[in-house]
Structure 1
Amino acid sequence: MTSTTTTETPTAQSRRDAQPPAARVVDLTKVYGKGETAVRALDGVSLDIRRGEFTAIMGPSGSGKSTMMHCAAGLDAVTSGQVLIGDVDITTLKDKALTALRRDRIGFVFQAFNLVPTLSAQENILLPMAIAGRRPDREWLDLVIDTVGLRDRLSHRPSELSGGQQQRVACARALVSRPEIVFADEPTGNLDSSSGAEVLSFLRRSVDEFGQTIVMVTHDPVAASHTDRVVFLADGRFVDEMRDPTAERILERMAELSAHHAVAPSHPSEG
């Protein structure tokens, strides 16, 4: 009898696992202040962010989650350790090179939208590329605009848009340059539940349909349940992760972390 070997088709998960990480932090430490007033916001965090995945960073207040994102995105200097975007250690870059890397390879979505009030929705979407002197890929731009559902609002200024529409403009702005990774800091924090769900749905689609890599800081278990993976921080350390999360499981884990980890005094920019 002749045996046959069946070759399995690689799953999307295994393909992602085989790729180098989109971002990596290695033994990352961030200390605010000096001497007796020093606060260790991050204490030796190491973490890989896989390509084509939606990752949430969560933890009790003061756990270091916002500090971690700001350091990983090159918005805040580290005290020690490495931060790699692709194969580039951004902790070694001078200001000009770091600014160029953030502009060309990273997208940002913030809780406060950060739109320019005098510009239309379309002008806000295209602003980073205009500053960089780059022309948008028209086909990609059209796809992003249609995906966020703003085709009929492009001429409107932010004051003429709802909060959810403004955040979708911000999401489109983050994606239009096709960044390697998007960092989203509490992107639904200023939105009602319906608008928040719209934004999360768009972020989820951008991962599933565009292969985008997204890292989101959130305190909301419902928002985090839209992701592929939740990373938990406590007292500035990486303590756990959860795949295929549900809001109920996240809520239970957060309650356990809050009960078992004493929260150190937090720095104003620490989350």
Structure 2
Amino acid sequence: MTTTPSGVATATRATAVAARATDLTKVYGQGETQVVALDAVSVAFRQSEFTAIMGPSGSGKSTLMHCMAGLDSISGGSARIGETELTGLKDKKLTQLRRDKIGFIFQAFNLLPTLTALENITLPMDIAGRKPDRAWLDRVVETVGLGGRLKHRPAQLSGGQQQRVAVARALASRPEIIFADEPTGNLDSRSGAEVLGFLRNSVRELGQTVVMVTHDPVAASYADRVVFLADGRIVDDMADPTADMVLDRMLRFSGGSPQTPAFDAKGRTS
């Protein structure tokens, strides 16, 4: 950890790789119906870094995340989490990898309605028969601002608060990497900004690694880096993005212009 001039503790940026794809290919269907969703994609996601994956609908961004997270099989090439190669892993080993090394945040909150916020947060560890690290759990709860809501059930929480619970659940087991698929898609702009801020802080202050798929240039601006996909290939890689930089890049890829964009104000295809 290092400390900024303002006194905020931050995680030291690591250069080690948390996940890597090498010539990763994903093909759906056969013959005339064959679709190449990923075309020999090679990319590395560094530890303690927040990466956004962007691109138009059908570009392969969600497919890349699902293949990297072991949620979908790959047709060729390699996908690794840390030093573990996903290709060829048996279902039991793959399930164990996802449980022990990967955190997930989805657009749908996926909370169990009969459990409290705290019980939802610790559920993956409870299923695995592991006790949470209390100091780490307290720190995660503080980071996402849930201290006063731990005894509430999902129906008693707003959408933004439910997604905070989902973020805390992903962080609680201290995974090697968190994959987030449109985590603010069901939230209003204020709640979305709060959740993105918590993800940003989890990287900066807790040293977490986050890879997020998003359509939204504003959401992408919270990341350290943006990887752009089009037609199943990586077409650009941007460091220290701003929302305007991201939107401009997306418009250029789509052949649009500020007057006639192929993307709307949030980067969604029109």
- Please point out which of 168, 178, 181 is paired with 1:182: 178
Q: What's the TM-score once normalised by structure 1's chain length?
A: 0.89
Question: Superposed, which structure 2 residues align to 1:1-150 within 5 Å?
Answer: 16-17=14-15, 19=16, 21-150=17-146
Does the Cα contact within 8 Å between 2:11 and 2:205 map onto a contact in 1?
A: no
Equivalent in 236, 243, 246 of residue 240 of structure 1: 236
Q: How far apart, in 2, do the equivalents of 1:163 and 1:244 lie?
A: 29
Aligned residues: 248
Asked whether the equivalents of residues 12 and 207 of structure 2 are also in contact (C-alpha less than 8 Å), the reply is no
* Residue in 2 that maps onto 1:201: 197
* Stretch of structure 1 that moved more, 193-202 or 143-152: 143-152
Contact 1:90-1:98 within 8 A present in 2 as well: yes
- TM-score w.r.t. structure 2 length? 0.89
Q: Distance between the aligned counterparts of 1:64 and 1:14, measured in 2?
A: 31
Q: 1:16 corresponds to which letter in structure 2?
A: A
- Within 2, Cα distance between the matches of 1:103 and 1:247? 33
CA drift at 1:16: 2.6
Q: Which has the higher helix share?
A: 1
Higher-RCO chain (CA-CA 8 Å, sequence separation at least 6): 1
Shift of residue 92 of structure 1? 2.2
Unmatched runs of 5 consecutive residues or more in structure 2: 1-9, 257-270
Can you list the C-alpha shifts for 1:154-184, whole angstroms capped at 9, x where unaligned? 1111111100000000000000000000000
Determine if contact 1:60/1:257 at 8 Å carries over to the other structure.
no
1:154 corresponds, among 150, 154, 161, to: 150
Q: Distance in 2 between matches of 1:255 and 1:159?
A: 40
RMSD across aligned positions (CA) = 1.6
Q: Against the structure 1 CA distance between its residues 151 and 15, is the aligned structure 2 distance closer, same or farther, given a 3 Å change threshold?
A: closer
The structure-2 alpha-carbon separation of the partners of 1:213 and 1:14, relative to structure 1 and needing over 3 Å to count, comes to: closer
Give the secondary-structure state (helix, strand or coil) at the position aligned to 1:16. coil
Alpha-carbon distance in 2 for matches of 1:13, 1:162? 30
Which is greater in Rg?
1
Separation (CA, whole Å) in 1 of partners of 2:182 and 2:13 = 29
Query: Which letter does structure 2 place at the counterpart of 1:87?
Result: E
